[in-house]
Amino acid sequence: MTDHSFLTVISPIEHRRNDPDGREATIRKTLLAHEQDDSPFADCPMVHMARIQILDQAVPPMGDTSGAALKTKYLLFAIDIDGRVDDFLDSLYRRDADFVHNVWGQCIGYPDFRGAVFFRRYIDACSFSNPLGYAGFDLSVGDTLLMLTRKNVLADFVSAHQGKSDKELQAAWRKSRADLATPNLPKPESF
Amino acid sequence: MSSTTINTKDIQGIFKGFGLAWPKGRFFFLNYKSDKAGRALLKHLCPLTSFHDLKTVKPDVCVNAAFTCAGLEALALDNDLLYSLPEDFRDGMRRRASINGDAGDSAPEHWEDIWEGHQVHLWVGVYARTDAQLKDWDKAFTTWVSKTKGISIVGSQDVSRLVSSPDVPVYLEDKDSQPQKPVLLEHFGFRDGIGNPPIKGLNDKHITGGGRINAKGEWEDFPAGEFLLGHVDTNGEIPVAPKPDGFSRNGSFMVLRKLEQNVDLWRDYMKGQAKKLDADADDIASRMVGRRRDGTPLMPAHDDFDFKYSSDPEGRVCPLGSHMRRTNPRDSFGADFGSLLVDRHRILRRAITYGELVPTGKTQAEVNGEEGQGLMFIVLNASISRQFEFVQQQWVNYGNEFDQGNDRDPIIGTQCGHDQMVIPGDNAAGRETMVCDALQQFVVCKGGDYFFLPSISAFEALASDAQGWRR
Amino acid sequence: MPLVPIHFKGKSNPLTVITPVKRGWGRFLTNAILFVFHHLPLGVVKQLAFIHFARWILIKGNKLPRLSEDQPVEDNWPYDFYVFTTNFNGSWDQYIDAFGRIHAVSKGLNMLWYTSEGFPGPWPMRLFKRYIHYFTAPQHLYYNAYPGATVRDIDAATKLNAEIEAFLEDTKDEMDDAEFGRRYRAFVNQVSPWLGKTGLEEKHEALAHRAVPMELSQ
């Protein structure tokens, strides 16, 4: 049973008109490239679910004609992980520092230096804490994948051995029990 | 709009259902080359048989009609009206094949030719008491069509009710599973046509067992708006419907699917599984369906209708993945919720079989040859996407809501040959688990479309030569 | 519209709703409500079994990070941000439907969104859906570590796992075949409700067109 962390980060991207340094463009391109394939999160074993969104504009209440608006575009990063935030940030930076620099590195105030420590500090400066969080279950990613794999392995075994004799059953079980006890786990994002 | 003011003279008879009183039928699928020809056809068909007629005058031959989107467009109706038609109806069933799981053998490229190219404009359903009356009507109608310019019959389908009889065995291996009393049947030998939702002010039968279950566990009927346009639904709103009001009120959306049933394949498969599992083929079949052949529920029940599922959350009595439980889960999602999560996805079925019953021991070819056997599956609902498509996409071709993962409905789901259905065992009851593997495609969709079934008055307005709703 | 395929693969759909909350009294009340909910058991939500992870967080509008001198002060936005993120199974309509139709849940939602400007309440459904859709912010990247699994799959897998481990232990050593057969069948019968096969399928109709709200106009 694990402690889940709910990390919520809002970082400023750009306040000047027309994205002169192409920061927003770089972020969008990077997100698009890693959306369906090659997600750096797949190699961070503590990540359950993650989302990144560019907040182009804040939506004022319906009927508000005062012209209330934000002056800066922001990046929203919300992630559900096992364990500590710093461990995750290190893991992500280690896996794909370029991704980090092409996303958060494009945000206002990100230091010019490379290194996980700067990433951690930046995220810390942009994090918001104390959410009301809900988790449907308290398993880690690894345990979740293990149990799901076992479910399919067992279903296959039961189906394949319907109607067999007791002798055949026991022999098959002896052979297959290792597959169930320690199955090959699918890589995150592939199950 | 209070339910007591529903005008049954304005609602087409199919809402009530034609049942055994009109056991012979023929469906015509028509095309008209111009809006003028279309109106001539509609005028010729007037007056359609209404719900009220079925209760009072009970004509020998009943006629109902419904339009495809192409059919409405071909009447040169006003753009405002055409644009207000919902997307699911405008797309048509062919274009939405991926939502309904019409793939493999059921893919549109294998559908019957009449469903190509939007040629079907109008469905005309004719139901008669006797073969002779049907023949007479058919002769008069087809003669008229052949003499009238711009109208053609692109296809037709004979339909008829099947009733169980001791002379026609439909059991697989166990004689005792044959229905003892005469019941309406479908081709796999199971009672059909029951379990429809009771509608306040229209069909009030079987509120207990057919209706909604509130959070207190009490049975209630359905507000008409779930099935009849222009009325309040279970969300307390009048659902969005095509404009103007007069066009859609008392009408409905109709899904028509020709479902071919491969009786030989079904029987061979069931017998094979029974052998493999050392079990009773008819018992396995009833667990796949969720009822016994004569309609008796698997759950303990007061009658064929009055039962609930919440006492069986693991599906040991009635498998969660069985056909019945998937298509109407009742209170399966928890007694606390009653049927609150199901009510928005109920459908009113008005199907009718085609082809002759294949008795046990005979093959389909011996009985019907090329024509085959199956069901002209008809659904009436206020919203095709929220009701029919939802059931088809989320409950038939997917198993999550029933804790079945990806497993699909074993009877009508789209199978790819590796699919399974798990029938849970019960240690306490001494019943073994049965996993039916390599499920086959027992039911194949051979075509169909989405139709708009107008009210009697709307149909007459569409037939009228007055400017009305035309461009 | 519905024929545009769903953007993210997998059985879990993301939804992010960012609503404006007035500062001052609105902020105070929101914090109080969130505090109360921290201590409430959310049993009914667990029972519905379709939310993986969700969060509610109030972000103060005047506390947005200002990390450079030339970044302007946000003095033209008099509201706080109330951010709701969720990962759910099923279609968008199904999700919102459950929130409106189940009294216990809609009561809670009514409280949680009470301070959001213009919130019409979870009923009537049409207004509720319009409101949610209006303030929904789209995702540009969504990641799911187990896209082929739903909450129900995971619940079933968890129940199954306890039984599997017990049976593995129970059958550690060889035994008489008949005895094994008996134990095996008893085990299979016990776990049979949880043997549905899951994971990502190549052609998965149920996952097409689901995140797009289809009943918005209804």
- The pLDDT of residue C209: 53
Confirm if B99 and B445 have CB atoms less than 8 A apart: no
- Taking CA–CA distances from B96, the nearest residue in chain C reads C3
Can you list the positions of beta strands (E) in B68-135? 122-128
Q: Report the share of chain B in percent with pLDDT over 90.
A: 89
Residues A14 and A93 in one domain: yes
Give how far C123 is from chain A: nearest CA, Å.
18
Counting the structural domains of chain A, the total is: 2
CB contact (8 A) between residue A68 and residue C79? yes
Q: From the CA of C44, how many Å to the nearest CA of chain B? A: 9
Pair (C71, C166) in one structural domain: no
Q: How much is the pLDDT for C103?
A: 87
Report pLDDT digits (tens) over C12-39.
989 999 999 999 999 999 999 999 998 8
Which tokens in the block code for residue C83? 């951010």
Residue B143 bridge partners (DSSP):
none
Contacts of A151 in chain C (CB under 8 A): 153, 156-157, 160, 194-195, 197-198
CA dihedral of residues A108, A113, A115, A121 (deg, nearest 10) = -40
B30-59: per-residue pLDDT in tens? 999 999 999 999 999 999 999 999 999 999
pLDDT digits (tens, 9 = 90+) for B255-270: 999 999 999 999 999 9
Do residue A104 and residue A175 come from a single domain? Answer: no
- Per-residue pLDDT, B226: 96
- Report cis status (omega within 30 of 0) of the bond before C20: no
Beta bridge partners of A74: A12, A55
Query: What whole-number distance in Å separates Cα of residue C65 and Cα of residue A77?
Result: 14
Contact B449, B92 (CB under 8 A): yes
Query: By the 8 A CB rule, do B263 and B373 touch?
Result: yes
pLDDT above 90: percentage of residues in chain C: 67
pLDDT (tens digit per residue) in A34-87: 887 788 999 999 999 999 999 999 999 999 999 999 999 999 999 999 999 999
pLDDT in tens, C135-176: 999 999 999 999 999 999 999 999 999 999 999 999 999 999
Nearest residue of C to residue A147 by CA position?
C157
Give domain status of residue A69, yes or no. yes
Domain count, chain C: 2
What mean pLDDT, rounded, does chain B reach? 94
Structural domain contains residue A135: no
Phi, psi for C194 (deg, rounded to 5): -110, 20
| pLDDT reported for residue C1 | 34
Residues A56 and A84 in one domain: yes
Whether residue A49 lies inside any domain: the answer is yes
Contacts of B407 (CB under 8 A, 6+ apart): B321, B399, B419, B420, B421, B422, C196, C197
| Contact flag B340-C190 (C-beta cutoff 8 Å) | no
Q: Quick one: closest CA in B to C43, which residue?
A: B336
**Angstrom distance (rounded) from CA C210 to CA A107:** 33
Torsion on CA atoms B317, B322, B328, B334, rounded to nearest 10: 50
Asked if residue C179 and residue C130 are part of one domain, the reply reads no
Handedness of CA B454, B455, B456, B461 (dihedral sign): negative
pLDDT score of B4: 58
Of C59, C142, C157, the CB nearest to A128: C59
Give the nearest partner residue to A126 out of C65, C161, C175, using CB atoms.
C65
Same domain for C95 and C172, yes or no, is: no
Tell me whether residue C175 is in a domain: yes
Same domain, yes or no: C102 and C34: yes
Q: For A73-94, what is each residue's pLDDT tens digit?
A: 999 999 999 999 999 999 999 9
| pLDDT score at C213 | 54
Q: Do C140 and A128 touch (CB under 8 A)?
A: no
Indicate yes or no: CB of A159 within 8 angstroms of CB of B434.
no
If we measure between CA atoms, which residue out of B462, B458, B465, B471 comes closest to residue B10? B458
User: Which of A155, A159, A163 is the closest to B278 by Cβ?
Assistant: A163
Look at C196 and B401 and tell me if their CB atoms are within 8 Å: no
Res B335: pLDDT: 87
Residues of B in contact with C124 (CB under 8 A): 235-237
Q: Which of A151, A155, A163 sits opposite B277 (nearest CB)?
A: A163
CA of B278 to nearest chain A CA: how many angstroms apart? 7
Q: Based on the domain organization, do C71 and C168 belong to the same domain? A: no
Helix runs in B312-414, H state only = 323-327, 364-368, 390
Q: Give the nearest chain B residue to A152 (CA atoms).
A: B405
- Same domain assignment for residues A117 and A157: no
Residue C165 sits in the same domain as residue C126 = no
* Helix and strand element counts for chain A (H, E): 6, 5
On whether both A73 and A112 belong to a single domain, the answer is: yes
Planar angle of CA B62, B66, B71, nearest 5 degrees: 140
Q: Of B27, B224, B43, which is closest to residue B124 (Cα–Cα)?
A: B27
pLDDT value at C45 more than 90: no
Number of cross-chain residue pairs from B and C with Cβ atoms under 8 Å apart: 139
| Chain C residues in contact with B236 (beta carbon < 8 A) | 123-124
Q: Do C218 and B397 make contact, defined as CB atoms within 8 angstroms?
A: no
Whole-angstrom distance, CA of residue A2 vs CA of residue A140: 6
Q: Considering only residues C3 and B269, tell me which one the structure prediction assigns the higher pLDDT.
A: B269
What is the pLDDT, as a whole number, of residue C212?
52
Tell me the pLDDT tens digit for each residue of B180-197.
Answer: 989 999 999 999 999 999
**Are the beta carbons of C214 and B420 separated by less than 8 Å?**
no
pLDDT at residue C3, rounded to an integer: 46
Residue A189, in any domain of the structure:
no
Give chain A positions within 8 Å (CB) of C188: 158
Q: Is residue A121 pLDDT above 90, yes or no?
A: yes
Confidence (pLDDT) at C165: 95
What pLDDT is stored for residue B1 in this prediction?
37
Task: List the subunits that have 3+ CB pairs under 8 angstroms with C.
Answer: A, B
Judgement on whether residues A21 and A71 belong to the same structural domain of the protein? yes
Check if B434 contacts A (Cβ < 8 Å): yes
Q: Are residues C183 and C94 in the same domain?
A: no
Q: Smallest CA–CA separation between A134 and chain C, in Å? A: 5
- Residue C202 maps to a domain: no
What is the residue range of C162's domain?
151-194
3-state secondary structure of C113: coil
> A84 and A155, same structural domain?
no
Model confidence at B276: pLDDT above 60: yes
Residue C63 in domain: yes
Interchain pair C145, A109: CB under 8 A? no
Based on the domain organization, do C60 and C87 belong to the same domain? yes
Contact at CB, B435 and A163, closer than 8 angstroms? no
CA nearest C65 in A: which residue? A126
**CATH no. for residue A104?**
3.30.70
Q: Tell whether A108 and A158 lie within a shared domain.
A: no
Q: What residue of B is the nearest CA neighbor of A162?
A: B277
> Has residue A114 been placed in a domain?
yes
Instruction: Label residue C92 left, alpha or beta by phi (over 0 means left) and psi (-120 to 50 means alpha).
Output: alpha
Give pLDDT, residue C105.
87
CA distances from B230 to B249, B455, C127 (A): 4, 11, 19
Nearby residues of B424 by Cβ (< 8 Å), 6 or more positions away? B314, B315, B316, B319, B433, C189, C192, C193
Q: How confident is the model over B302-330, as pLDDT tens digits?
A: 999 999 999 999 999 999 999 999 999 99
Instruction: Report if residue C199 sits inside a domain.
Output: no
CB contact under 8 A, B420 and A162: no
Contact A159 B433 (CB under 8 A): no
- Out of C20, C37, C87, closest to residue A61 by CB: C20
pLDDT surpassing 70 at residue C4:
no
Q: CB C101 to CB B340 under 8 A?
A: yes
Question: Smallest CA–CA separation between A165 and chain C, in Å?
Answer: 8
**C186 in a structural domain:** yes
Q: Above 60 in pLDDT, residue B243?
A: yes
If one counts every other C-beta atom within 10 angstroms of the C-beta of residue B464, the result is 15
Considering the domain architecture, whether residues C124 and C25 belong to the same structural domain is answered as yes
**In whole angstroms, how large is the CA radius of gyration of chain B?**
22
pLDDT band at B3 (very low <50, low <70, confident <90, very high): very low
DSSP readout, A2-24?
--EEEEEEEEEEE-STT-TT-HH
- How far apart (Å, rounded) are the C-alpha atoms in residues B326 and B195? 13
Residue C24 lies in a domain: yes
Residue-number span of the structural domain to which A146 is assigned: 141-181
Predicted local distance difference test score (pLDDT) of residue B98: 87
Q: pLDDT by residue (tens digit) across B104-115?
A: 999 999 999 999
User: What CATH number did the domain enclosing C31 receive?
Assistant: 3.30.70
CA distance C19 to C80: 8
B334 chain-C contacts, CB cut-off 8 A: 47
CA distance C154 to chain A (A): 7
Q: Verify whether the Cβ–Cβ distance B385 to C215 is below 8 Å.
A: yes
C198 contacts B341? CB cut-off 8 A: no
What is the enclosing helix (H) or strand (E) of B441? none
Segment A128-178, tens digit of pLDDT: 998 899 998 889 999 999 999 999 999 999 999 998 999 999 999 999 999
Q: C196 vs B394: CB contact, 8 Å cut-off?
A: no
- Distance from the Cα of B419 to chain A's closest Cα (Å) equals 11
Cα nearest neighbour of B240 on chain C: C218
The alpha-carbon gap from A41 to the nearest alpha carbon of chain B, in Å, equals: 25
Question: Measured between CB atoms, which of C1, C192, C205 is closest to B433?
Answer: C192
pLDDT for B204-223, tens place per residue?
A: 888 999 999 998 999 999 99
Question: Which chains reach chain B with 3 or more Cβ–Cβ distances below 8 angstroms?
Answer: A, C
Residue that is last in its domain, among C134, C159, C180: C134
For B399, which of C2, C185, C196 is closest by C-beta distance?
C196
- Alpha-carbon distance of C104 to C44, in angstroms, equals 7
Q: Which residues from A are below 8 Å from C175, CB to CB? A: 170
Q: Is the residue at C90 inside a domain?
A: yes
Cβ separation of C195 and B237 shorter than 8 Å? no
Contact between C55 and A74 using a beta-carbon 8 Å cutoff:
no
**What does A67-112 look like in DSSP terms, one character per residue?**
----SSEEEEEEEEEES-HHHHHHHHHHH-HHHHHHHGGGSTT--S
The ranges assigned to domains in chain B are 3-258+448-463
Q: Does the pLDDT of residue C206 top 70, yes or no?
A: no
Residues in C closer than 8 angstroms to B240, CB to CB, are: 217-218
Give the pLDDT score at B334.
87
Chain B closest-CA separation from residue A133 CA (Å)? 24
Residues C156 and C96 in one domain: no
User: Which residues of chain B lie closer than 8 angstroms to C125, CB-CB?
Assistant: 235, 237
Residue C215: predicted pLDDT: 55
The stretch B167-172 carries a mean pLDDT of 92
Confidence band, pLDDT 50/70/90 cuts, at residue C207:
low
**Residue C212 is assigned to a structural domain of this protein:** no
Q: Would you tell me the crossing angle of helices B263-277 and B281-289 to the nearest 10 degrees?
A: 110
> Is the Cβ pair B278, A155 closer than 8 Å?
no
Return the pLDDT at A1.
58
Chain B hits for A151, Cβ within 8 Å: 405
What is the pLDDT of chain C when averaged over all its residues? 88
Centre a 10 Å sphere on the Cβ of residue B24 and count the other Cβ atoms it contains. Answer: 21
Is residue A76 domain-shared with residue A159, that is, in the same domain? Answer: no
> Does the beta-carbon distance from A162 to B435 stay under 8 Å?
yes
